[in-house]
Amino acid sequence: MCLAIPGKVVQKYQEHDVLMGKVDFSGVTKRVCLEHVPEVEVGKYVLVHVGFALQCIDEDEAQKVFDFLKSMDQLDEINEPQASP
């Protein structure tokens, strides 16, 4: 029920004085209310729940878990016992 899906904003427009937009979900485009993410730019991603954008997706923060995993890999390499000559 609290399902929210990321989608890419492809258009912004006003309808009955409310900010609306077209949002692309991997090829499926839906009408979405953008009133609570007014700063979002076309081409950026928003998190959408029941036809309503709850929040913009922060690109830098989205990368963090993968940076963390990469740092774990580097740590593993350092910790691995050196092969004998």
Partner 1 sequence: MKYLDEYRDAAAASKLADAIARTVTKPWTIMEVCGGQTHTIVKYGIDEILPEQIELVHGPGCPVCVTSLEMIDRAHAIAARPDVIFCSFGDMLRVPGSRGDLLSLKSQGADVRTVYSPLDAVNLAAANPNRKVVFFAIGFETTAPPNAMAVWMAHKRKLTNFSVLVSHVTVPPAMTAILEAEGNRVQGFLGPGHVCTVMGYDEYEPIARKYHVPIVITGFEPVDMLEGVLMTVRQLESGRAEVENQYSRAVLRAGNEHSLNLIGEVFEICDRKWRGVGLIPKSGYKLREKYRQHDAERLFEVENIETEESSVCISGQILRGLKKPHQCPEFGKRCTPQTPLGATMVSAEGSCAAYYNYGRHLAGISLPVLAGGAS
The b/e string for 22-60 (b: 16+ C-beta within 10 A; e otherwise) is: bbeeeeeeeebbbeebeebeeeebbebeeeebeebeeee
Q: Which of 28, 41, 43, 68 binds partner 1 (CB under 8 A)?
A: 68
Name the minimum Å distance from CB 13 to partner 1.
14
Residue 38 in the binding site for partner 1 (CB under 8 A): yes
Residue 10 in the binding site for partner 1 (CB under 8 A): no
Residue 2 in the binding site for partner 1 (CB under 8 A): yes
Q: Which token pair is 63?
A: 């990368």
Residue 5 in the binding site for partner 1 (CB under 8 A): yes
